[in-house]
Amino acid sequence: MPSPTELDPITVEVQWNRLISIMDEVDIALVRTSFSTIVGESRDFAVIMLDRQGRSLAQSQLSSPAFTVHLPITVKHLLEVFPVEDLVPGDVLITNDPWIGTGHLPDLCIIMPVFIDGAVVAFMACAAHVADIGGRLDFFDARDLFEEGLRIPPSKLWLAGQENMQLFRIIEANVRVPDMVLGDIRAIVGAEGLGLDRLVEFLSDYGGVEAFHALAEDILNRSEKAMRQALSELPDGTWSYDLDADGFKTPLHVRTTVSKRGDRVHVDFTGSSSQFENASINCVPNCTFADAFYPIKCSLTPDLPNNEGLFRPLTVFAPEGSVFNTTFPSAVKSRSKTSFHINVAVYGAMAGPMPDRVQAGSGSFWAITLHGTHPDGTVFNVHILPNGGKGATATMDGLPTIAFPYNGTVTPTEIIENQAPLVVGYKRLIADSGGPGRQRGGLGQEIELRVLGEGSLVASLRPDKVRFPPPGIQGGEPGRAGRFDVDGEVVSVEPRTLQPGQAYHMELPGGGGYGDPRERPTEIVARDVLDGYVSVVAAREHYGVAVDPETGKAERLSD
């Protein structure tokens, strides 16, 4: 039922789109002025606009999804430390505290208040993974947070328009590539400044501060209503799903129970692993919430621009001290090794009530960091985030090598080679890696990185789904598990110093399939064989189809 304060839909649509376009402009400015591959190429960041209460209103369209859920929580925390009335124009706030921010230290949360006539009316916020934050080079082995790098408590990064030089010097002294990190920090503040200017223009075009606050309320209320409406249309019930994942030294267990009542939904992680004392894969509650929200948003309100109103009907619980609600100072650097399984578990649970809107497990990205020194003494630090295949859905094959649930761009080979002394030997699809199903899982990829020249480099790899492959759904089979080695020798995931000529070889997992593979139409199996996505043998064994690879002639074998 429309509330009496509801604004005219045309006004809301035009203005809401304009807020999103402002954030898209901020996004482009950041990409174009950044110095690191992790921001400029991989796009591991989000930029959002929040109202004066720290509630998110709009984000750039390619913002990394989890960050857009973390940032409103971060801003509200920061406002407890720095109440709005104590802020002055030109202040910029920062933190990377995992329990306040995005769950690990490399993500800097940088927030700029927007002032009109001396009062805060909104915030520009960015969470971005910077090239380095000090600490150990590895992804897994820290015993606590203090081994993972520099922690910046809620602080002022800019004071009334001036850089906080002491803080800049502390950061400069604690990271391996200070020019890159400080360059990105300044690029973020510059891009937010552009957003600030655009928002001020917006306010003068559309009736000033009060009209903006009314718009904010309207956007949040409309969004909340839409999410509640979509939830109401699902049957009530409680559904559980269990899965095992690689973890680090010992596997991770994820247990998810989804309860849906009326227009609310609750996700409970009771029964999942306890927090790990010897692995940096623990999740803070912010992360757990963000990754539980994401699959629900994708299924129920995919077309709505994201904002905080959509979060309101969702509650999440995980016992304190569990891997999904880890306590300070647990090690958290590679929390995605845990949080990336949440979407699989939520979809596993919700396959019953909404089979047409769930997805099989995805290969997701592996992080690779290459670090070392060029012959001229300059330090390099390159991030590559290649992806496995996406899980299949009720109507579509999984796409090959694409980001999910995170979103980002893989660093192009030519950029990698321009920045680090190595040669990418190949980067290609792996036949038969997509999980068989009526809809096939997306193919994973294999990549070889070979060290070139005279010097060595340190390669840190963060693989996943090597022991436990991405599961299929509704009768679909799992995707192919990942693998990696150095020159053919199976190695552990610890950072490795690669000598000239040595090569890291990795095979990223394929996505899971959806539905019974024997229901896949014969001609589609044949086409897959001709294109080399599926081998003749796999066509026969998994799909029950004999295909002549020369002619493409195919026939279904009787069971």
Partner 1 sequence: MSEAMNYRLGFDIGGTFTDFVLVDERSGRAFLNKCLTTPDDPSRGVMDGLGPMLRDSNIAGEEIDIAIHGTTLITNALIERNGARTAMLATSGFRDVLEMGTEVRYDIYDLFLEKPAPLVPRKWRYDVEERLDKDGNVLIALDEASLRETAAEIRRHEVEALAVVFLHSFRNPANEKRAREILAEELPQVSICVSSEVAPEIREFERMSTTVANAYVQPLTRHYIDVIEHQLRDMGYGRRLFLMISSGGITTSETAKEFPIRMVESGPAAGVLAATYYGRNMGLDRMVTFDMGGTTAKIGLVKDHQATKASVIEVGRVKRFMKGSGLPIRVPVVELIEIGAGGGSIAQVDILGLLKVGPRSAGADPGPACYGRGGENPTVTDADVILGYLDPNYFLGGTMKLDVEAAKKAVEEKLAKPLGMTANDAARGIFEVVNQNMLAAMKVHIAERGEDPRKFYLFAFGGAGPAHAYELARALHMKGVVVPPGAGATSAMGLITTAVSFDFARSFVTRLDAVRWDEIGAVFEDMATEGLAILEDAGIAPDSKGVTVVHSMDLRHKGQGHEVTVEIPKKTYDQRSTEALAELFYERHREKYGHAHTHLAVELVTCRTVVGAPPPVVPLHLSEDPAADSQAVLKGKRPVFFPESGEYQDTPVYDRYRLVPESSFPGPAIIEERECTVVAGPSSQISVDAFGSLFIDILPAVKVGKDHA
Residues 121 to 180: which contact partner 1 by CB under 8 A? 179-180
173, 396, 536, 537: residue in contact with partner 1 (rule CB under 8 A)? 396
Cβ nearer to partner 1, comparing 31 with 498:
31
What is the smallest separation between the CB atom of 26 and partner 1, expressed in angstroms?
A: 10
If one asks whether residue 48 binds partner 1 (CB under 8 A), the answer comes out as no
83, 153, 190, 207: residue in contact with partner 1 (rule CB under 8 A)? 190
If one asks whether residue 550 binds partner 1 (CB under 8 A), the answer comes out as no
If one asks whether residue 374 binds partner 1 (CB under 8 A), the answer comes out as no
Contact 387, 365 (CB under 8 A): yes
Max intra-chain CA distance, the chain: 77
If one asks whether residue 63 binds partner 1 (CB under 8 A), the answer comes out as yes
If one asks whether residue 490 binds partner 1 (CB under 8 A), the answer comes out as no
Residues linked to residue 252 through DSSP beta bridges, in sequence order: 245
What is the smallest separation between the CB atom of 559 and partner 1, expressed in angstroms?
A: 30
Task: Report the alpha-carbon distance of residue 319 to residue 326 in Å, rounded.
Answer: 9
Task: Report the alpha-carbon distance of residue 344 to residue 337 in Å, rounded.
Answer: 13
Cβ nearer to partner 1, comparing 386 with 436:
386
Site stretch for partner 1 (CB under 8 A), options 117-125, 225-233, 246-254, 527-535? 527-535
338, 359, 369, 502: residue in contact with partner 1 (rule CB under 8 A)? 359
Enumerate residues 452-471 that contact partner 1 by CB under 8 A: 452
If one asks whether residue 282 binds partner 1 (CB under 8 A), the answer comes out as no
Cβ nearer to partner 1, comparing 154 with 442:
442
If one asks whether residue 510 binds partner 1 (CB under 8 A), the answer comes out as no
Contact 57, 307 (CB under 8 A): yes
If one asks whether residue 516 binds partner 1 (CB under 8 A), the answer comes out as no
* Interacting residues of 90 by C-beta distance below 8 A, sequence separation 6+: 158, 159, 160, 161, 162
Give the interface size with partner 1 as a residue count (CB under 8 A): 82
Q: Concatenate the DSSP letters of all residues of 446-484 into one string.
A: EEEEEE-SS--EEEEEE--SSSSPPP-BTTPPPPPPPEE
What is the smallest separation between the CB atom of 302 and partner 1, expressed in angstroms?
A: 4
Site stretch for partner 1 (CB under 8 A), options 196-204, 254-262, 334-342, 494-502? 196-204
If one asks whether residue 14 binds partner 1 (CB under 8 A), the answer comes out as yes
If one asks whether residue 17 binds partner 1 (CB under 8 A), the answer comes out as yes
Opening angle at CA 108, ends 186 and 116, nearest 5: 65
Question: Which residue shows structure tokens 């328009």?
Answer: 161
Task: Report the alpha-carbon distance of residue 332 to residue 334 in Å, rounded.
Answer: 6
Contact 126, 110 (CB under 8 A): yes
Enumerate residues 204-233 that contact partner 1 by CB under 8 A: 205
Site map for partner 1, 399-428, x if CB under 8 A?
A: xxxxxx--xxxx-xxxx-xx----xxxxxx
CA distance to 528, 542, 547, per residue, from 553 (Å): 12, 17, 6
For residue 146, the tally of other CB atoms under 10 A from its CB is: 11
Contact 96, 107 (CB under 8 A): yes
